[in-house]
Structures are given as structure tokens and as C-alpha cells.
A and B are shown apart, each in its own frame.
Chain A
Amino acid sequence: MADDILSVNSVRKSFGGISALDGCSLRVKEGAIVGLIGPNGAGKSTLFDVISGFVQPDAGRILFSSREILGMPAYKIARLGLVRTFQIPRSLMRMTVLENMMLGAQGQAGERIHLTLLCRGRVMAQEKDIKEKAEEILQFFDLLRMRDEYAGSLSGGQKKMLEMARALMADPRLLLLDEPFAGVNPALADRLIERIRILKERGLSMVIIEHAIPYVLALSDRLYVLNKGAVLASGHPQEVISDRRVFEAYLGEGDNAQP
């Protein structure tokens, strides 16, 4: 489909005989938020690894704005504007919050060793712009007062925020968020929902893995349920969530599993 920013077709991946993804397909419309839920071990994070190029699948196709990205190195996929975050927040502990942010910017001349030494003026000018942008995004996530702290000293929820903020520095077109609400306290979570909606209004497409169902329902335009490496159900979030098969996938099958 032409208006799909991401289309994943029948992706398979097994790790030493154990099938993590078993013919998984998923589509994300431009500008939409897609929720991805499923029991532990359903293959959600593996799917993110495969889409972002961190893990090579055994079979399948992945198109990002109509371009085949399967087999492309992960850093090149990120440069195209498909940026992921990690389930366990991966801050660069020994770098400050601001340094973490500034790293995210793309197309930095100063990242090339010869330019950083020879074209100082150009690099400094770019650094100034990047810093301003970083401070703006930090402000958006209420992290500005932490800018000079080491990222390792942030709380779990703040690290999650920083990771998302850092990903935004790369000007992504599609953001893969792996459990953005994990470790974020309920008061902050409401603010985070608000912010994700603002990002969506600005045209950013997102796929969100999340265990906290209410947040997923509040945000998603479309919901996918993954079980045993395949899509169990997909569609309108409210309809999907009331599907009996989804209930069984979470709580196990059997007569005693009455809704």
C-alpha cells in the first residue's frame, strides 16, 4: 500500500530451533500509532530488532516507505528515519544528558574526523544549532534541568524519557518505542501520553510495545496482538482487546479461563 510507512511481510526468525517470529506481518499507516501487545515471549522485541536491522530475519520482507530495508545495516536504517528505543533503557551512562541528546542529531559534519579537525567553524556552528534543538526537546520532556547530569544518575522513568527524547533528535519518521511507560510513574505517564499525542499531531508515525493496556488503548489507532511469533489478532483496539482469543493468549486456554 502506498500510504504505508512500514510494511512487514511474513517475517520468520528462529534462534537455534526455537521460533521467535513465525510468519509475522504488520502494517503502519503514515502518521498512525500502532500498538503492539502480547504475552511475554510473544516476539514483540524480536520484531523490533528485526525491523531496525539489529537482528537479521531468516525470511520475509520489510518495506520502509516503499523501500526494502531487510539486510541493510542497522545504522543505515536509522539514518533513513526509522529509529528504535530499547526495552531496558540504554542511556550512555558516562555521558551527560546533553551529550546523549546531541549524539542523536543526524548529518553532523563534526562526526567525520577530518572535518572536525579542519572545518572548525562549520562544526561549531552546527554544534550550536544541535545544542539549541537538544535543549528544546529536553524542555518538552521536562528534562532540561538535568542537562549537565550524567545520564547514569537519572531515575528509571527519566532514562526512558531521555531515550525517547534522544531518538527524536534524529528527526525520525517512524519511531519504534519499546515499553515507553515501563518505570514511569502514573502521574508522569499521563504527561507522556500527552506528549506522544503531540508528536503524532506533528506527523510522526509510531509503533508502541506496551504491557499497560490502558495506555495502549488511549494511544493506538490500530492494535496488533502477537502470540508465539505470529499475529493473533489485529484491528481497532477496542474490538481486538475484547477478542476471546486475545484473552486466552494472556491467561491460557481452558474451561476455567472465563472472562
Chain B
Amino acid sequence: MLDYLVSIILTAGIYAIFALGLNLQWGYAGLLNFGHVAFMAIGAYLTVLLSMNGIPIFLAVLAGMILAGAAGASLGVATLRLREDYLAIVTIGFSEILRFVLLNWSSLTRGSFGLFGYPRPFQDLVGMRDYNLFLAGLVIAVLLMVYALLEALSRSPWGRVLKSVRDDEAVAVSLGKNAFSYKVQAIALGSAIAALSGSLLAFYLQYINPNNFQPVETFYAWIMVILGGSGNNRGTILGALLLWGFFSTTRFMEGYLSFSPSASSAARMILIGLILIGLMMFRPQGLLGREEELSIGR
């Protein structure tokens, strides 16, 4: 039972970090990133590949964050001067291209066989038996750090400019703010945070495979952000807990229903869809979002 709880904390925590990166981009900067999972994949793969080749783990994690941030920034530079929906199209394309590259670049990634047997932080110190418990603590610590960073930023003058760009870019520009630069910064930082969650995911799974990084992962992050309330970091964390709590409890119930596994996973997605529709009808600002932010001026 404890193992089960620890695994929920691990998954929910890792996805909460992942979704916090998206919340920075969407909730604070209004950027439509539909390929968020690509940056998680970059973090996971670069961390694993570098650490397998003898690079210290923390440097490998950092390298993943830097590469993901740079990749996000490049996509932003290429598309953010265009209409906002271009970013959505380009990011979802990028995430699928990246997945196929990972699948087919077998000499580097071993393709669909995936990578395993790579080092994990402090694994000799902690030992195999308690490792997940240790990792859960690490994930919670990282989550709190990311949360604190994002809260500090959102209350800062930097966050104020970002929110103004989300609300009305022309106003920000008319007051001397380089709106384009702020959008690129938001996408780079959000992507680096996604890479960090990818490294943690790799440590948890002990085995990574390009199919861990399907587009649906991006949309899990979207569900978490919307469920909790866009632009609300605590809401995003709550959204991650609720979504993984929901996945886990419905997995328990599977035993009592005569669905095939594929039918029950489809039924689960239908249920999530219905919950989201209900949420949009009765609480469009999300669970922790502020109603005033939605209802005014529209």
C-alpha cells in the first residue's frame, strides 16, 4: 500500500512539475504550446545519454534543461512573430518529429527498445529497496522549488509584464515592453522546467522509450492546468494530483468491471472529457482560478 502511495506521489509530482512549465507559458503568457512533451523527452533522453557516458548526473540534468530551453526559444523565435496559433501547430509537429527521430536514431537511442540500466542520483547511497521513497522526497523538493520560483516570478515586475502581454500585447508594447522577448523567455523557461520533469521521470521509470512521450502527455498537462485554473500554480499542482488520483482509483475499479483494458482506458478518457465539459459549464475558471478574471470585460 505504501509503495502504491509513493508511486502516485512520484507520478503526480513529476507531472505537476511538467504542468507548471505549461502553466507559465499558457496561464501567464497566453502561449499555446501543444508540444510540451517534446521538452520532457529532451530532458529525459539527454540526461540518460550523458550520464550513461560518464557525465555527472546533475550536469546531465542541467544540460537537458539548457537544450530544452534553447529548443523552446528557437521554436518561439521562429513562430511568435506570427499569429498565436502558429506556435501550437509548430510545437505539436516538433514533438512528433522528435519522437520519430528518437524511435529511428537507433545507434544513439536504441529506438523502440528504449534505454535502461542508466545511473540514478544517489543510488549507491540509498539502495534499491528504499529508492522510490527517496525519489519521492526528491520530487517533492524539486516541485516545491519550481513552485517557489514561479510564484516569485509571477509576483515580480517580470511577471507583471508577462501578464500584460497575455492580456493585450499592444498595450505592453505601447509602454515600451519588448513583448516578443518576454514570450520567448516564457517558452524557454517553461521548456526547461519540462526537461527537469523528464529527467525525474527517467529516474523513476528506470527505462525510457520514445513512446513514453506521446502527444497525449502534453494534453494531460493541459487538463491539469485547466482543471486547477489557468495562471494558478497551486491549481496546477492540485490538477496533477486529481488527475493521477483519478487514474489510480479507476484502475482499482477495473477489477470489478468486465471491460477489456483498452475499453476501460477509453472509458476513463471519456469520463475525463465529461468532467472537463462539466467544469467549463459550471466553473470555467478552474478549481482554484479567480472568477473575476474570466467574467470581466468580456
Contact = CB atoms under 8 A, between A and B. Distances in A.
Interface of A: 52, 54, 73-76, 78-79, 83-86, 90-95, 99, 102-104, 106, 108-113, 116-117, 123, 127, 150-153, 166-167, 169-170
Given A86-B174, A150-B293, A117 B167 contact: no
Interface string B284-298: 000000001100111
Contacts of A86: 170-171, 174
A113 B185 contact: yes
Contacts of B172: 75, 103
Contacts of A54: 170, 173-174
Given A99-B160, A103-B160, A103-B164, A152 B297 contact: yes
A86 B171 CA distance: 9
Nearest to A116: B156
B158 A92 contact: no
A116 B185 CA distance: 14
A84 B176 CA distance: 11
A152 B296 CA distance: 5
Given A54-B170, A110-B156, A117-B152, A75 B297 contact: no
Contacts of B185: 113
Interface of B: 149, 152-153, 156-158, 160-161, 163-164, 166-168, 170-179, 185, 189, 292-293, 296-298
Given A90-B171, A103-B177, A110-B157, 15 more contacts: A74-B173, A75-B176, A78-B175, A79-B176, A91-B297, A92-B167, A93-B167, A94-B293, A99-B160, A103-B172, A106-B176, A111-B158, A116-B152, A152-B296, A166-B175
30 contacts: A54-B173, A73-B178, A75-B173, A75-B177, A75-B179, A78-B174, A84-B174, A86-B171, A90-B171, A91-B171, A92-B167, A93-B298, A94-B296, A102-B157, A102-B160, A103-B161, A103-B171, A103-B172, A103-B175, A108-B157, A109-B157, A111-B160, A111-B177, A112-B158, A113-B153, A113-B185, A116-B152, A117-B149, A117-B152, A150-B296
Contacts of A166: 175
A78 B173 contact: yes
B156 A123 contact: yes
B168 A111 contact: no
B176 A92 contact: no
Nearest to A163: B171
Contacts of A123: 156-157
Contacts, number: 110
Nearest to B294: A94
Given A113-B153, A150-B292, A95 B160 contact: yes
A127 B164 CA distance: 17
A74 B185 CA distance: 19
Contact of B163 (A78, A92, A127, A167): A92
A95 B179 CA distance: 17
B-side binding surface: helix, strand, loop or mixed? Answer: helix
Contacts of A150: 292-293, 296-297
B158 A113 contact: yes
Contacts of B149: 117
Contacts of A52: 174
Contacts of A85: 174
Contacts of A113: 153, 158, 185, 189
A202 B178 CA distance: 29
B296 A90 contact: no
Given A150-B292, A153-B292, A92 B157 contact: no
A166 B158 CA distance: 17
A112 B297 CA distance: 30
B293 A104 contact: no
Nearest to A85: B174
A50 B254 CA distance: 64
B29 to A, nearest CB: 13
Contact of A78 (B152, B158, B176, B298): B176
Given A103-B175, A152-B297, A110 B158 contact: yes
Nearest to A107: B176
A75 B164 CA distance: 14
Contacts of A76: 176
A131 to B, nearest CB: 11
A93 B296 contact: yes
A188 B171 CA distance: 24
A90 B175 contact: no
Nearest to A114: B158
A153 B296 contact: yes
A167 B157 CA distance: 17
A158 to B, nearest CB: 12
B170 to A, nearest CB: 6
A224 to B, nearest CB: 22
Nearest to A104: B175
A255 B160 CA distance: 58
A215 B196 CA distance: 59
Contacts of A106: 176
